[in-house]
A and B are shown apart, each in its own frame.
Chain A
Amino acid sequence: MIGRAVAVATVLVAVVAGSTACTADGSAPSASASASASPRPVTADEAERLAVARLRAYEAHVMALEARVPVADDTLQLTGRVDLRTHEATAVVETGDGQWALLQWTLNGKALVPLAGEPDGLPAPPAEGWQVTGLVPDEPLDGALAVVLSLASDRAENPLLLRQNGAQFVRSDTVDGSEVDVFLAPGADEHTDPRIRYWVDDEGLLRRVDADTGYDEPLVITLTPTKDAAVPVIPQLQALAG
């Protein structure tokens, strides 16, 4: 079944769609690329790299995570680690006004505990003080958290259909010094969605996803290979059913 090829796009489109009320005129926000960028159809090699991007993330298993998440009146900065196979993540959250918290999440819910100040790295989860809630897909933060956990896949996409249905190369760039290419991929409606961009390195590893969610700045998720282990989520969160 080939429809799965657009799973991430589908999740992201849901986030984008849920946020468009934030635009003044209700129209789709313009793509955030520079005006000089001129997307063109992907080559066969590019299609194959785009096709394995989520598989490579799955193979990487645990990756360091940074995310900038625009929400109403603020932008949250997340720094942590994500287990892309078990769908569990832990990150330090900094708000725009300098408050700090530790956040853990799964596909079913999130747990938040305030921190006194900026921690030194990723702190061990405390035993108490957590606020555990379910994920609300329409909430911009929760939507972004769900997207983070959906960036890997245990298989490749179909590069022939990516090509046939309009995947595009936008431009070359770098992420943390690594050379990457930026792509638009076909979405659930079989057209590329200019609001979502995939940044893929020369090994085919997905390194960054940008999504215009209707705020002044895009949602930006950056993944970096790491040798560090994932942080286990607290039992209260594990117990949360879907």
Chain B
Amino acid sequence: MPARRLAAVVAVALIALAGCSAAPDPEGPSSTSPDGVVRVPEDAATIQEAVDAAAPGDVVEVGPGVYEESVSITTEGLTLRGTDRNDVVIDGGGLRANGVVVTASGVAVENLTVRDHTLNGVLVTGLTEEGGLARGSDGYTRLDPDDYPPLQGFAVRYVTASNNGLYGVYAFDTQHGVIEQSYASGHADSGFYVGQCEDCDIVVRDNVAEFNAIGYEQTNASAPVAVVGNRFTDNRVGASLLSDYQEAFVPQRGTTFAGNLVADNQQASTPEVAYGAFGLGIAVTGGQEDLLRRNLVTGHPVAGIQIGSSEDIPPDGTRVEENELHGNAVDLAYTASARAPGAGLCAAGNTLQTTSPADLLSSWDCTAGGSPRAAGVELPRPAAPSGIPYREVAAPPRQPSMPDDATGVAEAPQVDLDGVAVPSPELFADRARG
């Protein structure tokens, strides 16, 4: 099988490339361009070559093309920017692990497409070793997050991520960042994922996630996190706020999830969710003191909003305010287990028809400290339809490129949470396929 052997050799070579900085081409650039911009392909043949030649604070500007490489960014303050969001493509060919791996602080990734990687489209993480990704723990002791302080400051904006095996855009062990104006489809786990940080100071806004197993997932990432003005539609689960013992900093808490369109997350032409979840809008599982506010949540055959426990972690103190919910089998469901019953939950000002249990709202009084500690009721779970492999999800529609005057700062922006309104059902419809 010569073809297969060739593929094997290529894969090995590329995996080697992905794991560490590629050696600069001897004929590549020897110094940064005087204007602080390194251009691909004019100044460097590959993106990695340009990144390696750039100095902190430089811009690597990438022209149209399909780039069959993994890019590792270990230089602080770098901006990696495509000249055309749709036609600058980092393509993993179904072989390479990650499109872009950022392990330096203050980096912005902008205006390009990352597709067809076995793991992630863009990975931003403080879990580093020798400038690259870090090793694991020894023996049976978990890796200590104190040894791997969170990466400080990042931006992923106007990025299209599609058909990657885990996450489209993945921020893990990071603080002070933003994911905005981006699009993710065809991911076997979630389109966007923020994981493992305390005092995160992360904003996820104005993004579209569709045709993923889960649109947006946030695990053990805590206050302040703002998830605002996104479109999470046509996934199997729209958004998941989760506490999980596989990551440090249990429990997840203190997220403001506001002004999002969460609709029709009952799409079968997607990869399956690991544990078979389907037909859920927003799932809070062991999350605490989260605020779900002014979201439009519609079209879910299991529940619009479901709040429950995770193992022994109760969903304490979550507030559900001024959301519009309709067209869901149950608009608001409380499913906390007898093992981890929640308390201090409340709902106010919502437009909704159905709750589970049916008399839920009588004890969820926001003016009286919220609910007494109590378990909820499990929902009936219809079997999820069979899914499709992540590589077989249809390609995304063309997305708008980054405006010339858009900000390029790699930090979390200020967000006026009080000014957030319930979105239109047409929010970002022009960017969506579903």
Contacts and interface: CB of A to CB of B under 8 A. Distances in A.
Interface stretch (B127-135, B203-211, B293-301, B334-342): B127-135
Contacts of B135: 41-44, 163
A56 to B, nearest CB: 8
A48 B97 contact: yes
Given A1-B273, A44-B134, A48-B97, A160 B172 contact: yes
B140 A1 contact: no
B188 A154 contact: yes
A139 B143 CA distance: 37
Contacts of A47: 133, 136
B402 interface: no
Contact of B189 (A2, A43, A160, A164): A2
Contact of A203 (B8, B133, B138): B8
A29 interface: no
Contacts of A3: 244, 246, 274-275
Given A51-B119, A52-B165, A161-B246, A155 B140 contact: no
Contact of A164 (B127, B273, B275, B387): B127
A161 B119 contact: no
8 contacts: A3-B274, A41-B137, A44-B132, A44-B134, A45-B16, A154-B389, A164-B137, A204-B15
* Most chain B beta-carbon neighbours within 10 Å: one of A158, A160, A163, A166: A160
A162 B136 contact: yes
Given A42-B135, A164-B127, A1 B143 contact: no
A55 B118 contact: yes
Interface string A177-218: 000000000000011100000000011100000000000000
Interface residues of A, number: 42
Nearest to B245: A190
A161 B165 contact: no
A44 B12 CA distance: 14
A88 to B, nearest CB: 15
A5 B167 CA distance: 14
B271 A42 contact: no
Main DSSP-derived SS at the B contact region? loop
Contact of B134 (A2, A4, A163, A167): A163
Given A3-B274, A165-B136, 19 more contacts: A2-B219, A4-B274, A4-B275, A7-B274, A42-B135, A42-B136, A44-B19, A44-B132, A44-B134, A48-B118, A51-B118, A52-B118, A156-B166, A163-B137, A164-B248, A166-B137, A190-B142, A190-B245, A204-B118
B399 to A, nearest CB: 24
A81 interface: no
Contacts of B389: 58, 154
A48 B244 contact: no
B434 to A, nearest CB: 21
A143 interface: no
Given A51-B119, A156-B188, A166 B140 contact: yes
B414 interface: no
The listed residue with most A CB atoms (<10 A of its CB), out of B19, B119, B247, B248, is: B119
- From B129, B135, B240, B245, name the one whose CB has the most chain A CB atoms within 10 angstroms: B135
B76 interface: no
Contacts of B246: 2-3, 5, 161, 164-165, 190
